[in-house]
Amino acid sequence: MLLLQGLAACSGENDSANQSLATPPTPAGAASAGAEQADTRLVVAFGDSLYAGYGVLPQESFPARLEQALTARGIAARVHNAGVSGDTSAAGLRRLGFTLGGLDRKPDLVMVNLGGNDMLRGIDPAETRANLTAICEELKKRGIPIMLTGMIAAPNMGRDYADAFNAIYGDLAKRYDAVLYPFFLDGVVTDPALMLPDRIHPNPKGLEKIVERVVPLVAGPLTPDS
């Protein structure tokens, strides 16, 4: 878990009066295309550098790979990358309303991955918990399902800090009926072959492994009968 220490550094209409018989008819596929778009699920990946795609190409980022994986499962989904490198839980809370307001519609799911930078900066877990609670409260108020991808404290933060920090995600998942993936970097951070040279962020192979583990949990809330 000491490998987590460097995370801190990454840290529009035509007037009907002008219409005529010469107006081209609506393309045959337009209605079906519109229906297909309406059926497409919108997922927002709201977090820090681990969502933003630090050190990898945009098409290799976690949101891009997750969208591909959902498509492969037959789920039409658009995964919006709302990751900002270096964000703390406080910074995420400040931009949540702006992020949601900039979308074309209400998301079907918001994934939240924040708190890692708080831990590495030694921010009081009580503050992190309060910020993440406020984020979940706002999403609940808007009727948006939540998924939390958690972090865990590095060993050198001490037992008391770890106990307080590590409990946040599970507690909030229960309180807000959120889907929980306890540790975003599980099975990846300890394998150098799955990490970038900085030994902090996942490389494309690492991200692929994370997506393989996470996609079943994401697919559930996006399935109509779930």
Instruction: Indicate which residues carry an active-site annotation.
Output: 49, 198, 201
Burial of residue 146, with CB atoms counted within 10 A of its CB: 0-12 exposed, 13-18 middle, 19 or more buried: buried
SS (H, E, C) 13-76: CCCHHHCCCCCCCCCCCHHHHHHHHHHCEEEEEEECHHHHCCCCCHHHCHHHHHHHHHHHCCCC
Among 142, 129, 134, 135, CA closest to 171: 129
Residue 101 sits at φ, ψ, to 5 deg, of -65, -25
What are the two backbone dihedrals, phi and then psi, of residue 179, each rounded to the nearest 5 degrees?
Answer: -70, 140
Pair 64, 79: CB distance under 8 Å = yes
Residues 6 or more apart whose CB falls under 8 angstroms from that of 95 comprise: 84, 87
The packing angle between helices 125-141 and 89-101, to 10°, is 10
* DSSP conformation class of 9: G
CA distance 151 to 186: 9
